Amino acid sequence: MGQAQPDMFLEALSNGPTLAFKDMAMQLLGNLFEYELARRGEALNIFGATSGDTGSAAEYAMRGKKGVRVFMTSPNGRMSPFQQAQMFSLLDENIHNIAIEGVFDDCQDIVKAVSNDLDFKRQYKIGTVNSINWARLLAQVVYYFAGYFQATQSNDQKASFTVPSGNFGNVCAGHVARMMGLPIDRLVVATNENDVLDEFFRTGIYRVRGTADTHETSSPSMDISKASNFERFVFDLLGRDAVQTKAIFGEGLSRQGFFDLSGDPRFAQAATTYGFDSGRSTHADRLKTIQQVFANYGVMIDTHTADGVKVAKEYLKPQVPMIVLETALPIKFAATIVEALGRQPERPPQFEGIEALPKRVQVMKADVDLVKAYIQQHCD
Ligand SMILES: *Cc1c(COP(=O)(O)O)cnc(C)c1O
């Protein structure tokens, strides 16, 4: 673990093949899939949409795995040059990159349309590896135990965690670790300008945003309009009342676009029983935080980790180590690092020159039928 300031630690989680924390859980999943598919004599075609991190972590986890193919759509020309080089330089036969002429939402619409075509899904054994995947969440629980043991000297001590959050997957694993008995003091949810979660923990109101209200920020892996794992925590908050949880997430959300627990006495337990706090940051905060951490400690942090450090500072307590989960390395988001520091981020040696490697990618119009035809062709 590195140090961001005397009482704050950075838990390094981003040294996997795609330089984001998602790698560790995804790598486990790749091996589980291969094992279980072989045991059942089955095959699986993973189909998804990515704006960067998730898709490449999935591809690096599944490359060369028997019984698994990946078909990953991404918006053509919209990922960072580094991210494009990472994904498209994978030449494994079971990995298919499809660059859609459109934006990320066009990719997601195609995935939804295919998911709704049950016959097609069944015939071509289509599955996903999205952030509600329970195996991914389970693997992430380990981060909290590992961080706790490194930052404390005895089991009587508590530690707090700040987690740069989007879909509430990583911090939900922290909640699970706490429920398992890990002595966590506070779990701090850090968001960027897309502050759906911060708003909930401050007010008790969960208000999902429309696509038009979702900001494109310099910590893009946290640009979400609703947090797909959040229901898991609310279920606990409501005393595991499945009927009420279903009601507020189902009809409540789809009819009015929000639910309001501010008047419910159980809402206070989010902060008390479960120890949650939250905060948000802006582009200017990220620049300043990246500058400060670099000037004081000589450590370059990425934009998402910067959201975490900024918010963590608001919740420091004497005697309680604060651990910020590092979620990516700065090289993935070089443009903002240059803006903050006036220099290029460090590039791990294995990534020297990847922009020049041969690429395999299929550019395609945003047309469901074309994508389906491509999958059909490559499934036999
Ligand atoms: C996915 C991701 C996040 C958000 O994690 P969630 O589990 O969706 O809350 C934060 N930072 C980076 C770099 C990511 O890739």
Dist CA 372 CA 110 (whole Å): 9
Ligand 1 atom with least separation from CA of 140: 7
Question: Closest Cα to atom 7, ligand 1: which residue?
Answer: 169
Instruction: Return the ligand 1 atom nearest residue 52 CA.
Output: 15
Contact 324, 9 (CB under 8 A): yes
Determine the pLDDT at residue 228.
86
Condensed to tens digits (0 to 9), the pLDDT of residues 333-344 reads 999 999 999 999
pLDDT over 70 (residue 138)? yes
Span from the CA of 4 to the centroid of ligand 1 (angstroms): 20
Shortest CA distance to 162 belongs to which of 281, 325, 275? 325
Contact present, 112 and 73 (Cβ < 8 Å): no
Q: How many CA atoms lie within 13 A of 349 on its CB side?
A: 0
Quote the ligand 1 centre to 123 CA distance (angstroms).
32
| Ligand 1 centroid from CA 90, angstroms | 23
* CATH architecture observed for domain 2-17+134-341: 3-Layer(aba) Sandwich (3.40)
To the nearest 10 degrees (0 to 180), the angle between helices 303-312 and 283-297 is 90
Cβ atoms within 10 Å of 214's Cβ, excluding its own: 18
What mean pLDDT do residues 89-107 have?
93
> Which range (120-134, 141-155, 188-202) has the least confidence?
120-134
The residues carrying an active-site annotation are: 22
Instruction: Give ∠ CA 279-285-290 in degrees, rounded to 5.
Output: 115
* Pair 227, 166: CB distance under 8 Å: yes
Average pLDDT over residues 45-50: 94
Question: Which amino acid is it at 266?
Answer: R
Question: pLDDT at position 131, please?
Answer: 84
Query: What CATH architecture applies to the domain 22-133+353-379?
Result: 3-Layer(aba) Sandwich (3.40)
Look at ligand 1, atom 2, and give the residue with the nearest C-alpha. 221
Q: Please state the rounded mean pLDDT for residues 93-106.
A: 92
Token pair 């469901």 is at which residue?
368
Q: Residue 341, SS3?
A: helix
Mean pLDDT for the stretch of residues 310-326: 97
pTM, to two decimals:
0.94
pLDDT in tens, 368-377: 999 999 999 9
Model pLDDT, residue 334: 92
Site of tokens 């206070």: 268
Percent of the chain with pLDDT over 90: 84
CB atoms within 10 A of CB 370: 15
> Going by C-beta distance under 8 Å and a sequence separation of 6 or more, which residues neighbour residue 119?
none
284 in Cβ contact with 217 (< 8 Å): no
Give residue 89's Cα distance to chain centre: 22
Q: Which of 191, 84, 171 is nearest to 131 (CA)?
A: 171
Pocket test of ligand 1: the residue of 327, 331, 332, 336 to mutate, having most ligand atoms within 8 Å of its CB, is 327
Mutation test of ligand 1: which of 21, 232, 286 has the most ligand atoms closer than 8 Å to its C-beta? 21
pLDDT per residue over 152-198, tens digit each? 999 999 999 999 999 999 999 999 999 999 999 999 999 999 999 99
Which residues does a 6 A CB cutoff place in the pocket of ligand 1?
Answer: 20, 22, 53, 131, 164-170, 221-222, 304, 327-328
Q: Where in the chain are the domains?
A: 2-17+134-341, 22-133+353-379
Domains 2-17+134-341 and 22-133+353-379 share a fold: yes
Distance 219 CA to ligand 1 centre (A): 9
- What is the residue-averaged pLDDT of the chain? 94
Nearest residue to 95 via CA among 58, 129, 122, 132: 58
Torsion sign across C-alpha atoms 326, 329, 330, 333:
negative
- Distances, alpha carbon 68 to alpha carbons 55, 84, 175, 206, 310, in Å: 15, 22, 31, 37, 40
Distance of alpha carbon 259 from the chain centroid: 24
β pairing state of 184-191 and 276-280: parallel
What's the 308 CA to ligand 1 centre distance in angstroms? 11
Q: Which atom of ligand 1 is nearest the CA belonging to 164?
A: 10
CA angle (20 as vertex; 202, 315 as ends), nearest 5: 30
Phi and psi at residue 188, to the nearest 5°:
-105, 120
Q: CA–CA separation, 190 vs 198, rounded Å?
A: 7
Percentages helix, strand, coil for the chain (3-state, rounded to 5) are 50, 20, 35
- What is the reported pLDDT for 380? 67
Mutate to test the pocket of ligand 1, among 221, 223, 325 (most ligand atoms within 8 A of CB): 221
